[in-house]
Amino acid sequence: MKKGGRTTVMLVVSLGFLGPLVALGASPDVVLNEVAWGGTAAGGQDEWIELRNCGASPVDLAGWVVTIGDARIPLSVVEESTLEVRRSTLEPGGFLLLERTDDTTVSDVAADVIYKGALSNTGANVKLLDAMGNVVDQVLCADVGWPAGCASEGALPYATMERVDPIEMGNVWRTNDGLVHCGVDAAGAPIQGTPRAANSATVDYLTAPRVQLLAPIAGEAGCPLVVQWQAIDPDGLPAGLQIAIAVRVEGAEEWTVLIENLANQGSFAWDCSSFAKGVTYEVRVSATDWEDRVGAATSTPFTLR
Ligand SMILES: [Ca+2]
Ligand SMILES: [Ca+2]
Ligand SMILES: [Ca+2]
């Protein structure tokens, strides 16, 4: 996937600078956690940014600055691109919400900082600087474009770009899933994001089942075809997953379920003798947990001989 490629590039950039900072004892606890670069359905200019304190101690943001390109948004004083400051300490686990232009950008959630300046839809370099001017966190997207999120077009219009897990996964971002969201825009419509709340991407990462497909492998397969998998539920009991195996032909929208109610790990011999040769198939193993969260793994396309 194109998005995956971009993410990989950003990971390298991020780890390269975080390594030395950690060794020096600097605190990378506060991160850029969510970027609504596409604005909201009420207006593409209604952008906002969320910071998160991932550490165990409160952080005083006096002297800290968010930069968008050359524009500087001080987090504790009204100067340069900062229009209003209401709070500049961040409790452990807490979120700081920066709204562009005015407080109605996210109309039912109070802004902590109000700023001016745009996040280009083609990408921008956003940095978080501490009081010493050290780069604490950054997303460098000016040249490569945003790795996630949507503007008016796209599968989920105006969905935000959310950090998955700053601690475990570094600089990895996903688009808000449209299921876990909060807040309303200036016109009262739901925001496809999570202003001042845990990201859908994080919730999903922490709770959705993870499936690993061990077979089949790409290429040409004989019959019966053995599907082998293992799945876990990060926040649930090992026995709590519903495993199903489905197949689709030639990349069709529809998946045909072959079998359900299998164990978290195992193998299944699919009798594919009645299925057509000369076309491509994909096999998907999905795992559904007690909250109806679904994780799945899909094979690469293969043919039957
Ligand atoms: Ca607001
Ligand atoms: Ca924008
Ligand atoms: Ca959030």
Looking at the structure, tell me whether residues 139 and 230 fall in a common domain: no
Q: How far, in Å, from the CA of 35 to the mean position of ligand 2?
A: 10
Q: How many domains does the chain have?
A: 2
Q: 280: domain range?
A: 208-304
Last residue of one domain, picked from the residues 181, 206, 231: 206
Looking at the structure, tell me whether residues 31 and 93 fall in a common domain: yes
Residues with Cβ within 5 Å of ion ligand 2? 37, 119, 121
Confidence (pTM) = 0.75
Q: How far, in Å, from the CA of 76 to the mean position of ligand 2?
A: 24
3-state secondary structure of 21: helix
- Among candidate residues 158, 141, 149, 136, the one with its CA nearest the CA of residue 64: 136
* Amino acid found at 110: A
Return the number of other C-beta atoms located less than 10 Å from residue 85's C-beta.
Answer: 19
Last residue of one domain, picked from the residues 149, 176, 206: 206
Please give the pLDDT value at position 23: 33
Looking at the structure, tell me whether residues 49 and 160 fall in a common domain: yes
- Ligand closest to 109 (CA) is 1
Looking at the structure, tell me whether residues 18 and 53 fall in a common domain: yes
Q: How far, in Å, from the CA of 61 to the mean position of ligand 1?
A: 20
- Ligand closest to 195 (CA) is 3
Residues 6+ apart with CB under 8 A from 287: 209, 210, 211, 231, 233, 241, 242, 243, 264, 294, 295, 296
What pLDDT tens digit does each residue of the chain (305 aa) get? 333 333 333 433 333 333 333 333 344 599 999 999 999 999 999 999 999 999 999 999 999 999 999 999 999 999 999 999 999 999 999 999 999 999 999 999 999 999 999 999 999 999 999 999 999 999 999 999 999 999 999 889 999 999 998 887 888 999 999 989 999 999 999 999 999 999 999 988 888 899 999 887 668 888 899 999 999 998 887 677 999 999 999 989 999 999 999 999 999 999 999 999 989 999 999 999 988 889 999 999 999 98
Looking at the structure, tell me whether residues 215 and 194 fall in a common domain: no
Please give the pLDDT value at position 24: 36
Please give the pLDDT value at position 291: 83
